[in-house]
Amino acid sequence: MDLGLMMDCDYRVGQTQRAAFDNALAMADLAETLGFNGIWLAERHFSPPGGAALVPSIAASPLLMATACDTHKPHPHWHGSPACAVGASSTPGRRSRDSRQSRARPP
Protein backbone atom coordinates (compact mmCIF):
# COMPACT_ATOMS: atom_id res chain seq x y z
CA MET A 1 0.00 0.00 0.00
CA ASP A 2 1.24 3.51 -0.83
CA LEU A 3 0.79 6.21 1.77
CA GLY A 4 0.96 9.94 1.11
CA LEU A 5 1.02 13.02 3.30
CA MET A 6 -1.53 15.77 2.67
CA MET A 7 0.04 19.16 3.44
CA ASP A 8 -1.84 22.44 3.67
CA CYS A 9 1.30 24.61 3.46
CA ASP A 10 -0.41 27.22 5.60
CA TYR A 11 1.17 30.63 5.74
CA ARG A 12 0.24 31.81 9.20
CA VAL A 13 -0.15 35.46 10.15
CA GLY A 14 3.10 36.77 11.62
CA GLN A 15 5.16 33.95 10.07
CA THR A 16 7.82 34.76 7.51
CA GLN A 17 7.86 33.02 4.14
CA ARG A 18 11.20 31.48 5.03
CA ALA A 19 9.75 29.98 8.21
CA ALA A 20 6.76 28.63 6.26
CA PHE A 21 9.02 26.94 3.68
CA ASP A 22 11.41 25.67 6.37
CA ASN A 23 8.42 24.09 8.11
CA ALA A 24 7.20 22.51 4.86
CA LEU A 25 10.68 21.13 4.11
CA ALA A 26 10.95 19.70 7.63
CA MET A 27 7.55 18.02 7.22
CA ALA A 28 8.61 16.58 3.85
CA ASP A 29 11.85 15.23 5.35
CA LEU A 30 9.94 13.64 8.22
CA ALA A 31 7.43 12.09 5.81
CA GLU A 32 10.29 10.53 3.84
CA THR A 33 11.95 9.27 7.02
CA LEU A 34 8.67 7.68 8.12
CA GLY A 35 8.29 5.92 4.76
CA PHE A 36 5.56 7.95 3.07
CA ASN A 37 5.47 7.50 -0.71
CA GLY A 38 4.45 11.01 -1.66
CA ILE A 39 3.23 14.43 -0.65
CA TRP A 40 0.01 16.09 -1.73
CA LEU A 41 -0.34 19.87 -1.48
CA ALA A 42 -3.82 21.25 -0.84
CA GLU A 43 -5.21 24.01 -3.00
CA ARG A 44 -7.65 26.19 -1.13
CA HIS A 45 -9.88 28.62 -2.90
CA PHE A 46 -11.17 31.77 -1.21
CA SER A 47 -8.54 31.62 1.55
CA PRO A 48 -7.96 34.87 3.43
CA PRO A 49 -4.56 36.59 3.21
CA GLY A 50 -2.20 34.92 5.63
CA GLY A 51 -3.99 31.62 5.12
CA ALA A 52 -3.00 28.78 2.84
CA ALA A 53 -0.46 29.10 0.05
CA LEU A 54 -2.39 30.43 -2.92
CA VAL A 55 -0.52 28.51 -5.61
CA PRO A 56 0.47 24.94 -4.62
CA SER A 57 2.70 24.49 -7.68
CA ILE A 58 4.85 27.38 -6.49
CA ALA A 59 4.91 25.98 -2.96
CA ALA A 60 5.94 22.60 -4.42
CA SER A 61 8.95 23.96 -6.36
CA PRO A 62 11.32 24.28 -3.38
CA LEU A 63 10.17 20.90 -2.08
CA LEU A 64 10.95 19.26 -5.42
CA MET A 65 14.32 20.96 -5.72
CA ALA A 66 15.32 20.08 -2.15
CA THR A 67 14.32 16.45 -2.72
CA ALA A 68 16.29 16.25 -5.97
CA CYS A 69 19.37 17.79 -4.35
CA ASP A 70 19.08 15.64 -1.22
CA THR A 71 18.54 12.32 -2.97
CA HIS A 72 20.66 13.07 -6.06
CA LYS A 73 17.84 11.66 -8.18
CA PRO A 74 17.44 13.68 -11.36
CA HIS A 75 14.03 14.32 -12.83
CA PRO A 76 13.26 11.56 -15.39
CA HIS A 77 13.21 14.12 -18.21
CA TRP A 78 16.63 15.56 -17.32
CA HIS A 79 19.04 12.77 -18.26
CA GLY A 80 22.68 13.79 -18.18
CA SER A 81 21.98 16.94 -16.15
CA PRO A 82 22.99 17.67 -12.59
CA ALA A 83 20.51 16.57 -9.95
CA CYS A 84 19.63 20.19 -9.26
CA ALA A 85 18.88 21.13 -12.87
CA VAL A 86 15.56 22.65 -11.85
CA GLY A 87 17.26 25.07 -9.49
CA ALA A 88 20.09 25.84 -11.90
CA SER A 89 17.80 26.56 -14.82
CA SER A 90 15.45 28.75 -12.79
CA THR A 91 18.14 30.81 -11.09
CA PRO A 92 18.77 34.16 -12.83
CA GLY A 93 22.08 34.23 -14.65
CA ARG A 94 22.54 30.46 -14.76
CA ARG A 95 20.15 29.54 -17.53
CA SER A 96 21.73 28.90 -20.90
CA ARG A 97 20.98 27.16 -24.14
CA ASP A 98 23.25 24.28 -23.09
CA SER A 99 21.06 23.44 -20.08
CA ARG A 100 18.14 22.71 -22.40
CA GLN A 101 20.15 20.47 -24.75
CA SER A 102 20.53 17.69 -22.18
CA ARG A 103 16.78 17.35 -21.62
CA ALA A 104 15.51 13.98 -22.83
CA ARG A 105 12.73 14.06 -25.35
CA PRO A 106 9.40 12.61 -24.21
CA PRO A 107 8.54 9.23 -25.78
CA distance 86 to 60: 12
Per the prediction, the chain carries an average pLDDT of 63
- State yes or no: pLDDT of 43 exceeds 70: no
Percent of the chain with pLDDT over 90: 0
More confident residue, 9 or 51: 9
Can you say whether residue 89 is alpha, beta or left, with left for phi > 0 and alpha for psi between -120 and 50 degrees?
A: alpha
Instruction: Answer whether 0.85 is exceeded by the pTM.
Output: no
